[in-house]
Amino acid sequence: MSLASSHTTGHSTGVAPHAVPQHGSSFKAFISRFHFYVGLFVGPFLIVAAITGTLYALTPQIETWLYREQLTTTSTGEPQPLAAQVQAARTYIGDAPTLSAVRPTTGPGMTTRVMFTDPALGASESRAIFVDPVTLDIKGDLIAYGTSGILPFRTTLDYLHRSIMLGDLGRAYSELAASWLWILTLGGVLLWLWRSTGKLANQQPANKSLQLHHKHGIIGVVLSLGLLFLSATGLTWSQWAGARIDDLRNTMGWITPTVSTSLEGALSDTGGEHAEHNAAAAGGHAHHHTPGMVMPADDPSTRLDEVLTAAKAGGIDSPMLEIKVPKPGSAWVVREYDRAWPSQVDTVAINPNTMAVTSRADFVTFPISAKLVQWGIAAHMGLLFGIVNQLVLAVLGISLVAVVIYGYRIWWRHRPKPGALPHTLVQSWLRLNITWKAIMLVTVVVLGWALPVLGVSVVAFVLVDILRWRMAQPPAAA
């Protein structure tokens, strides 16, 4: 993969003469020129995305150490009921915030996380109160973010990686990087294959220029599958392309199953394959409620222990679980959030009147498309295979930075001499035959619609290139 690949342009054009053999076609020359200019333009965005993504992937252990006072406890003994733990958090935080979810302790020495919504917080943020499940002492008060529940340190890195702390406008940077990364990767692999079958196949990198090309190319080819993966999974999270991908998934039926919180017809629901356990495991409470009775709207936390027992009887067996407090008239939702391998991300809805499971989404029953999405997201975040996943992401990120830097070094060594006429992309485009021009135009239109940030950047890129091309022409020719 060569940021500065060219056909046979030499020093006067600002690129190296060795990237593609001289017998290459006009199409090869166009791909080479296109790869060079796109890399030159997108390189800084890729570097920022790679560095921030690597930092995010390597920091779960740092976060665990940084917030050890909030996450852990030295007390021993039987945990207090969840209702008592939530009451302790409520006493600490006051009556104004709304209880939204509870993550019970995952084992001895770990605190319970009680989450509240606050209008002053940003989207997907909640105020997390950490409670000692044995002593009911308040261990901490932090802002948690997203379904993963990351804490302030990693939240900052997440915002840096996604939007460089500029909100929705800043998300264009990461989407730009993800939109072009797969194109750069495929173009670089193509250039490498062309070069490896040409005169340079057995040529040893005897000088500095060839050594740079060799390092840049071989690293890019070795990383190609990983880079394509990062690009694809990154686009699913993007703002504009992500919406297109969601539309495609909905059209194709590639939807991740979810539970229904509706209580219509829930009183007669059998609760699925675990129904026979629900009433007994709930301690008989399910039989003591009058049909049609609604849960106490003023203090739903009094039902937490019943809900937890019913969820475990209904098949929720991961210690990493979250109980989401429902709105009046809706079902409770209990979900697993262990995205490691094997993934435990089952979800059940619990009827507040009968404590029966009324709806469920078990990962084992997900269609393969939904499983791939879950695994892809978890792997992109460094969660799927633990430390191995983190190290692989770190290698990808650091190597991507190296590839871009090698590309810029190649460009700098072969930059145009003062007064030399630039070799623009327009010139390479004009040399294509009508068939390739038509294919290119259709491809640009389709990709520009599917990936809006890429489409806008192509328009801006072409306008700048046309301007450079016209300025380089003699007056009569222009």
20 near 28, Cβ under 8 Å?
yes
Any bridge partners for residue 101, and if so which?
115, 324
Q: Which residues are bridge partners to 112 per DSSP? A: 131
DSSP state of 272: G
**pLDDT band at 12, cuts 50/70/90?**
very low
Backbone φ, ψ for residue 71 (5° rounding) = -85, -20
Strand partners for 115: 101, 128
169: left (phi over 0), alpha (psi -120 to 50) or beta: alpha
Query: For the segment 346-385, what is each residue's pLDDT rounded down to a tens digit?
Result: 999 999 999 999 999 999 999 999 999 999 999 999 999 9
Note the helical H segments in 131-263.
152-163, 167-196, 208-237, 241-252
Q: Cis (ω within 30 of 0) for the bond into 108?
A: no
- Identify the residue whose tokens are 């409520």: 90
Query: How deeply is 116 buried, as exposed, middle or buried, from its count of CB atoms within 10 A (0-12, 13-18, 19+)?
Result: buried
pTM (2 decimals)? 0.82
Decide: 157 and 174 in contact? Cβ < 8 Å: no
**Which residue, among 310, 354, 299, has the nearest Cα to 333 in the 3D structure?**
310
| Residue 436, both tokens | 């390739």
- Which token pair is 308? 């937890």
- Band (475; pLDDT cuts 50, 70, 90): low
Alpha carbons within 13 angstroms on the beta-carbon side of residue 230 total 30
Closest CA to 169 of 447, 475, 453, 431: 453
Cβ–Cβ under 8 Å, residues 331 and 349: yes
Burial group, residue 421, by CB count within 10 angstroms (0-12, 13-18, 19+)? middle
pLDDT higher than threshold 50 for residue 101? yes
**DSSP bridge pairs for 103:** 113
- Residues ≥6 apart with Cβ < 8 Å to 29: 6, 7, 8, 20, 428, 431
Contacts (Cβ under 8 Å, ≥6 apart) of 214? 205
Mind listing the pLDDT tens digit for each residue in 104-159?
A: 999 999 999 999 999 999 889 999 999 999 999 999 999 999 989 999 999 999 99
Distances (CA, A) of 321 to 105, 272, 357: 9, 20, 16
pLDDT one-digit tens code per residue, 39-97 = 999 999 999 999 999 999 999 999 999 999 999 999 999 999 999 999 999 999 999 99
Q: Specify which of 264-268, 276-280, 316-320 reaches the highest per-range mean pLDDT.
A: 316-320
Q: Per-domain residue ranges for the chain?
A: 11-55+173-250+389-472, 72-150, 266-365
Q: In what order do the strands lie in the sheet with 125-131?
A: 138-145, 125-131, 112-117, 98-103, 321-324, 332-336, 347-350, 357-361
| DSSP class of 123 | T
Cβ contacts of 195 within 8 Å, gap of 6 or more: 19, 20, 21, 201, 217
Contact 189, 228 (CB under 8 A): no
344: which strand partners? 338
Q: Are 326 and 300 in contact (CB under 8 A)?
A: yes
Q: Which two tokens stand for residue 104?
A: 């019970």
Which of 49, 32, 15 has its CA nearest to residue 398?
Answer: 49
